[in-house]
Chain A
Amino acid sequence: MTTPPPNTEAGLSSSLTTDIPLTTDIPSTRTAAMDPDEIAEPSQARAPAPSRSEVSAATRPAALTKPGLAVHLRGLRAFYGEAEQVKGVDLEFRANEVTAIIGPSGCGKSTMVRCINRMHEEIPGAHAEGQVLLDDFDVYDPSVDVVAVRRAIGMVFQKPNPFPTMSVFDNVAAGLRLTSHGRGSRSKAAQQPKVEAALRGAGLWEEVKDRLHEPGSGLSGGQQQRLCIARSLAVDPEVILMDEPCSALDPIATLKIEELIDQLKTRVTIVIVTHNMQQAARVADRTAFMLDGRLVEVGPTDEIFTTPNDPRTEEYVTGKFG
């Protein structure tokens, strides 16, 4: 991606930090539940920070910074009917870090990640137990609207899945349109800056700016996946879950997504499920190893790959099984 002129960048960062309504259902519900001392902190943290984005603009053109939120899993268990697939996981995903989940097929890593934004319960007969805390807010609390959870915690799937009836522009705008309450943000003109910001955030703007109104399904596989990332960025989530986002892509497209992940962590917390251990080593700050529905070990990525504590982790990362 080419470096945009400085003034464009400034306009963009301000649009991302101020124009997009950050107060979705979640923070407001959380505010009600929190004591007054803590309320001030997130609102300060969310105030536009021009000096910070100017610094990052100099080093990393597309990066915009925003303090993210951490996610904690407490005794998370997930079931398909009677079968228990995730058997009690306690795990922290730190704010503004990339955490990779590795483990052999069927170990429950995808299921676990789908529990974080409550997509797991969309499968007939499936349910989850335990707590998933976004900051200090339990997404499984009975008073919580599942739709609000998914606005705050976005998801990118294994196979790129742009909406086939929509143009590139509409695919990104769909994130805004499908979730907007009012009619104010429905017009294309009102959506334009947000769509552009999301596409720039996904490193796709330069490639698609002249074909915004062509079908999204006409893009290449890697571009489609970045379009899906842009689509989830448009809602301005706190966390993005990625379930093997590169497994359907070629190495060059994979590299672009990995670079993108590195840039995105300045504004969101990222959880990535991957089968590819080199990928985990390249993109993740921390890596968690799962086996048979349980967390075996979590730690800084280089430690997991060089000096793991558990012999099973060592066997897996050195390729002895899985």
Chain B
Amino acid sequence: MSSVSSERLNRYALTPARKRRDRIARGGVLAGTILALIPLLLIVYYLLSKGLSSWSWSFFTTDPTGNTFFKNSTIGGIESAILGTIEIVALASVLAIPIGIGVAVWLVEYGRSGWFANTVRFFVDVLTGVPSIIFGLFIYIALIIGTGSSYAGYKGSLALALLMLPVVIRSAEVILLLVPGALRESALALGAPRWRVIGSIVLPTALPGMVTGVLLAIARAAGETAPLLFTAGATFKTSTNLGGFMNSLPVQIYNDVTSPTTAVVDRAWGAALTLVAMILILNLIARLVARRSRLA
């Protein structure tokens, strides 16, 4: 290259000061990322190192016992907590998912940006920010104090459903908004009634994305302790009766970790690792489904 052209091209070159600024900025964001990873990695490390030792076949297949104050007594496993969490969360999902998706469909397809739709959106946002213990308190006051009855699994499910509802609505709404308007238009232009367009075109197109949002809502609900503490109660026995006391992983962890007996605290670590593993599996499923999504 001739010297004339290299001189001419020099003006495009970056100054050393600018290169330095770029390095500093890149170093800064990298440091921030590492800093954020440290607590995450520590949590996983502690969970694995403390919880893995209590994992065994019988840990998953026996109920906890009340014998925790005597040395060498069998404290039992966490079977009732695992099954209780699955039952409570399943009922909560059955309640929250259809309602939540229904609300999202109404907001996107019918309410659009009318005053009522915007009011609904505002309250959904408020609901998203409500601390989880408030949902528990609400059910406690309405269904336990209010009716003078006792704790029950379904009451825990109701509290979790309230917690899930805004998450489901918001995530489904975002996905429904991603469905191209041209698809609705072309279906309407074929002479399809609006409800058919929603049922046959919009929802199938949005389905993979909505599954992701729903699974994340389930994962969030499964890890909540506060809404269950004074709604579902705590018990040792495996129960399939959602009308009675029901154990759950978060509540069992909460109770076990305050025990003076080392073995019981270890059981809390094992239960915590189990809960994290269950939620991780759910998240992995959500990611696999999202990868198949045509919209995201």
Contacts and interface: CB of A to CB of B under 8 A. Distances in A.
Interface of A: 117, 119, 122, 124, 147-152, 154-155, 157, 159, 161, 163-165, 174-175, 177-179, 217, 228, 231-232, 235
Contacts of B188: 119, 122, 150
B4 interface: no
Contact of A178 (B112, B185, B200, B294): B200
A178 B192 contact: yes
Contacts of B58: none
A163 to B, nearest CB: 6
Contacts of B200: 174, 177-178
A164 B191 contact: no
Contact of B183 (A117, A148, A150, A164): A164
Contacts, number: 74
A145 to B, nearest CB: 9
Contact of B294 (A154, A159, A161, A164): A164
A161 B180 contact: yes
B144 interface: no
Interface in B186-205: 186-193, 196-197, 200-201, 204-205
A232 B190 contact: yes
A117 B204 contact: no
Nearest to A158: B182
Contacts of A178: 187, 190-192, 196-197, 200-201
A163 B205 contact: yes
A119 B189 contact: yes
B113 interface: yes
Interface of B: 112-113, 180, 182-183, 185-193, 196-197, 200-201, 204-205, 207, 294
A175 B189 CA distance: 10
A161 B182 contact: yes
A157 B180 CA distance: 13
A178 B190 CA distance: 8
16 contacts: A119-B188, A122-B188, A150-B190, A150-B191, A151-B190, A161-B186, A163-B201, A164-B294, A174-B187, A174-B200, A177-B200, A178-B187, A178-B191, A178-B192, A231-B190, A235-B191
Given A155-B189, A165-B207, 12 more contacts: A117-B189, A122-B185, A147-B191, A147-B192, A147-B193, A150-B188, A154-B191, A165-B201, A165-B204, A178-B192, A179-B191, A232-B189
B294 to A, nearest CB: 5
B191 A151 contact: yes
Contacts of B183: 161, 163-164
Contacts of A232: 189-190
Nearest to A162: B186
B185 A179 contact: no
B182 A150 contact: no
A155 B180 CA distance: 17
A235 B186 contact: no
A124 B191 contact: no
B202 to A, nearest CB: 10
Contacts of A175: 190
A119 B185 CA distance: 8
Nearest to B189: A155
A155 B185 CA distance: 9
A124 B113 contact: yes
A202 to B, nearest CB: 14
Contacts of B207: 165
B189 A179 contact: no
Contacts of B112: 124
Contacts of A119: 185, 188-189
Contact of B190 (A122, A124, A159, A179): A179
A292 to B, nearest CB: 25
B188 to A, nearest CB: 6
A165 B205 contact: yes
